[in-house]
Amino acid sequence: MMTVSVMITQCAIRLYKPTPKNTFWSNIPLSSSSTIYSSTITKPSPRHFSTTRTMSTESGFYSLKAKLPNGNEYDFAELKGKTVLIVNVASQCGFTPQYKGLQSLYEKYKEQNFVILGFPCNQFGGQEPEDDAGIATFCERNHGVTFPLLAKSDVNGDDTNEVYKWLKSQKSGLLGLARIKWNFEKFLVNKEGVVANRWASTTTPEAVGAEVEKIL
């Protein structure tokens, strides 16, 4: 039995001939095969990609600048670690009484690194006709506003200021539309520089306050 098994095995070895495919691969040196593999296959690092994207999102807000009424620039890098509410405001709008509610909100939370920035704008019904000095006087006399007011500027169209270009790119409004619909729309930015929420003009400062408190 053992002799027959050995003979069968030897016959099988003599009958086997490598196919051209086997011959081709057997003649390629190991170093060449390694070179082909390394030159055609790359493996990106998901961890590195994710970190870069997060840094880009955070730095976007803090790299912004806005013009102040005195001509200087307000550097958003000063807002790092703060919760920020940004509102496009107007002096002759049906929502103008919201100034008082915004001021109350500011006074309530300003000691907890909360900031409100007002952006006067005349694009909605011509309801902010005053210049920067007139706007500041109106807000202080009638509503006791002490939170920062930026220079009067556009929030829609070709001349949109860079802050609102960025805000609208981060979160759409009603019906998925990016453009600002009216005065006193509101954007809430968290301590990481990410837009956490956006509200229409009809949302009161009191209603916004409940959401502000959650992320302080």
Active site residues: 93
> CA-to-CA distance for 206 and 97, rounded, in angstroms?
12
Give the Cα separation of 56 and 66 in Å (integer): 20
- DSSP letter at 110 equals G
Reference 204, options 82, 96, 90; nearest CA is 96
Nearest-angstrom CA–CA distance, 142 and 121: 18
Burial class (CB in 10 A: 0-12, 13-18, 19+), 110: middle
φ, ψ at 53 (rounded to 5°): -65, -40
